[in-house]
Structure 1
Amino acid sequence: MGVAAAVSKRQDRVAVVDVAWGSSFVAVAIVLALVWPDTHSWLLALLVAVWGGRLAWHIARRSHGAGEDPRYEKMLGGPGWHAGAAQVLVRVFLTQAAVAFIISAPLQAAAIVDVRWWPVVWLGVAVWAVGLFFEVVGDRQLSAYRARPRDARPKILDTGLWGWTRHPNYFGDACVWWGLWIAGAVSLGWVPGLVTVFAPVAMTFFIRNVTGAKLLEKTMSQREGWSEYADRVPLFFPRPPAGRGKRRA
């Protein structure tokens, strides 16, 4: 995150932290596997590397040449914000560094405690795979939608996974970390699982309510047709699509 902060200052763009976010977990997982090498730690490192590497690559490609992310503009005072370098460092980069360290608790537990239930490891891998599916497919569907000419595409993307949840990529992100918690901590026993359950809970809370879905919706809700879309499609947890004009409870 320190390196990302330096790059951010050079580019005058705080959103580079999103690339560093996934990469930071990859670094944590690989260091843990190198210091305490065993099959379990390397399996977790592989899962984190696939998720974090893909996420960093996707965000870097998508944001290349783009301006500041509206979410960070709002966080730092709105368009044209004048927050100082120290304030940006603390509010964005050091905060995300601390959160990444805390969220990685299941990986840290797995590095020092032996696996008790290998079937639970594979259950966690299955949940992780569901999350990765939602992220990858959701991102591809969004990219295909954006690649279409504006006058030849609907105002709102409401097909595919985007007809099941308004934020399939954020939901997938949460699933990935519930899967890593199950595979990494619950598989060690009930105590490690309970001690580290705050990690996926915190990740889900932040993704849904703080830095992810709800923050993004403050700008997305200004689009034409958004209210009708929001009536039909749930914010976060997927449900089968409702017909047009049918309001979701």
Structure 2
Amino acid sequence: MADSAYRIGRDFAGRSRATAFAIVVGAYALAFLAAIAAASMLSGRHPITVLFWADIAGTVAIFLLSMVVANSSLYDPYWSVAPPLIIGGWLVWHLSQGDPPASLRHWLMLGLVTVWAVRLTANWAIGWTGLGQEDWRYVQIREDTTGRAPWWLVSFTGIQLMPTLFVFLGLLSAWPAIIGWRPFGVLDVLGVIVMVVAIGLETVADLQLRRFSADPANRGKTVDVGLWRLSRHPNYLGEIMLWWGLWLFGLAAAPNWWWTIIGPLAMVGLFLWISVPLMERRSLARRSDYAKYQQEVSVLVPWPRR
């Protein structure tokens, strides 16, 4: 059993959904101020360094507040909220140096990441019922680690710091896209296509899953409609594609920054080796039809059923 001293939401669990959202907004405002303070203290350093530590400061703030409300899911929106702010911060710095004005590449990249961020955050908000709800993965991790490590350490390193580092790795591709010297070209067009398809894929997959789950007749069944008939995790595929599209923008602008491919590769590893196995184990335990579905349907890439 989880530590009895740690109850989901504690006294905050019974607050209304509106109050819970107000708490989340306040928490993220404080995290933003913490990030600004960290960036100010590092003024004059390289922008990548400045935004990295600002990102860490924001993560620490959310972590501390998640301990106050006893709910690690307070961190969940951070995945999508931070990227447009970091890219926007780099772009503001670039323009402040007297360099050429923002280009088509800049606006397309920032615009697509912002659309992705707004959609993903909205998808989280629609399904979030309040501070009494915590992601099942966090509950499971807490139960599995009770007695072996302090929960605050597990939550900070595994649930909050690790995703922040992965996302920052993915965002490194945006830096060469901002400072790059090459004109808008074919790779940029490809980047736009990949990111638009990624956002569309995630959007359709989430809508199909929500519609399927809302039908009481489907309780206990595996979603096997639309995109889910051809891929077990089409939403994860869309997420991975988003980061590859961002890398294409960076490669188009400054080919010598090709090594930022570590970002999308890290995302592939994160989903294939952590997110997918966790979800698959849970589905096998909860749904009797999942084993058959697992044998017939591709993991990520949509493919004819076996």
> What range is the shorter-chain TM-score in?
0.7 to 0.9
Cα distance in 2 for residues equivalent to 1:152 and 1:140: 15
Cα distance in 1 for residues equivalent to 2:218 and 2:187: 47
Taking a change above 3 Å as real, the CA distance of residues 152 and 102 of structure 1, as seen in their structure-2 partners, is closer
1:91 to 153, 158, 163: 158
Contact 2:142 2:151 in 1 (8 A): no
The one-letter code matched in structure 1 to 2:271 is I
1:22 to 75, 80, 84: 80
SS at the partner of 2:166?
helix
Cα distance in 1 for residues equivalent to 2:298 and 2:109: 31
CA offsets 1:25-47 (integer angstroms, 9 cap, x no match): 12111111211241222321111
Unaligned runs of 5+ in 1: 243-247
Q: Match for residue 165 of structure 1?
A: 231
Q: Match for residue 59 of structure 1?
A: 124
SS at the partner of 1:89?
helix
Which structure 2 residues correspond to residues 229-244 of structure 1 after superposition, within 5 A? Answer: 229-240=293-304, 242=305
Cα distance in 2 for residues equivalent to 1:26 and 1:239: 32
Contact 2:172 2:260 in 1 (8 A): yes
Q: Measure how far apart 1:146 and its partner are.
A: 1.2
Taking a change above 3 Å as real, the CA distance of residues 75 and 133 of structure 1, as seen in their structure-2 partners, is same
Greater displacement, 88-97 / 221-230:
88-97
Cα distance in 2 for residues equivalent to 1:67 and 1:79: 20
Q: CA RMSD in A?
A: 2.1
Runs of 4+ in 1 over 6 A off after TM superposition: 79-82
SS at the partner of 1:57?
helix
SS at the partner of 1:235?
coil
Contact 1:26 1:53 in 2 (8 A): no
SS at the partner of 2:181?
coil
Report the TM-score, using the length of structure 1 for normalisation. Answer: 0.87
1:141 to 203, 208, 226: 208
The one-letter code matched in structure 1 to 2:91 is A
1:34 to 84, 92, 99: 92
Cα distance in 2 for residues equivalent to 1:217 and 1:199: 24
Report the TM-score, using the length of structure 2 for normalisation. Answer: 0.71
Contact 2:195 2:245 in 1 (8 A): yes
Contact 1:170 1:208 in 2 (8 A): no
Cα distance in 2 for residues equivalent to 1:116 and 1:199: 23
Q: Match for residue 6 of structure 1?
A: 64
Q: Measure how far apart 1:155 and its partner are.
A: 1.3
2:108 to 37, 43, 52: 43
Q: Match for residue 245 of structure 1?
A: none
Contact 2:83 2:117 in 1 (8 A): yes
Greater displacement, 213-222 / 65-74:
65-74
Contact 1:134 1:168 in 2 (8 A): yes
The one-letter code matched in structure 2 to 1:217 is E
Contact 2:177 2:254 in 1 (8 A): no
The one-letter code matched in structure 1 to 2:302 is P
CA offsets 1:6-59 (integer angstroms, 9 cap, x no match): 342233121232211111112111111211241222321111111112112211
Greater displacement, 71-80 / 117-126:
71-80
SS at the partner of 1:78?
helix
CA offsets 1:74-103 (integer angstroms, 9 cap, x no match): 334439787332442233222222222222
